[in-house]
Amino acid sequence: MNEFLSWLLDAVQSVDPVLRTVLAGVAIVLETSVLVGLIVPGDTVVIVASTAVGSVAEGAILIVVVVVGALIGESIGFGLGRWLGPRIRFSRLGRRIGEDNWTRAELYLRRRGGPAIFLSRFLPVLHSLVPLTVGMSGFSYRRFLAWTAPACTVWAVAYVSVAAAAAGTYRELADQLHFAGYLFVGVIAVFLVLAYVAKRLIVAREARHMTVDDDGRTDGPADRMGD
């Protein structure tokens, strides 16, 4: 296990640091762009690139690039929503996404306002649809950035720091523990499972909020859009 993992990590680390960082940034641009995020595994690319981080400065640069990439991707989604939203929604690809998902994103934004933008970065499907929906809603771009920038930062710091720390620890222990590779894989697996569970908890919590809203026990859509 150690031999294979060391070979794999060395292969990633042998790639030019600038190229690795650029690829991670591009992957996140695609991952957070409208609809593309449903098929491009940007988080996987970021994790792989993070395993090659060799210093705090290199990790910080990768985080900045990933955050900028995420903001560019979400800004593209916002812009397309502002100018072409309905056309995309009713296009062939938009229909494949499903009207239920579009309606879900629309109601989620209407009822939760700014917090919906922040939380959507961590939710499946919605992280691609919400920027587009925000663009169609009349929500200002400045306020959109104010909510999505912190979310993108939290996401980038979590993914880069965990993967980089796990890889760095493995390299220190690989010559001492024959099961160091299993520890590395276990740490990454636990992180991904925790991220998945956290997403499911957020989804369940937001679903309960939407049910409460349907019963008329919370603020109306107009109030939420002012958040």
* pLDDT tens figures, 49-91: 999 998 899 999 999 999 999 999 989 988 888 888 777 777 7
Q: Please write the tens of the pLDDT for every residue from 114-127.
A: 888 898 888 766 77
How many residues are listed for the chain in this entry? 227
Most confidently modeled range among 127-131, 133-137, 217-221: 133-137
In 15-140, alpha helices (H): 17-32, 42-50, 56-89, 92-97, 99-112, 114-120, 126-137
Distance CA 16, CA 152 (A): 25
Instruction: Map residue 17 onto helix, strand or coil.
Output: helix
**Confidence at residue 135, expressed as pLDDT on a 0 to 100 scale:** 86
**Confidence at residue 214, expressed as pLDDT on a 0 to 100 scale:** 52
**Cα–Cα separations (whole angstroms), residue 42 to 33, 130, 155, 156:** 11, 17, 12, 11
Question: How would residue 225 be classed by pLDDT, with cut points 50, 70 and 90?
Answer: very low
Tokens found for residue 209: 């909020």
**Cα–Cα separations (whole angstroms), residue 148 to 51, 144, 145, 197:** 26, 6, 5, 21
Distance CA 159, CA 171 (A): 19
Tokens found for residue 66: 């990933």
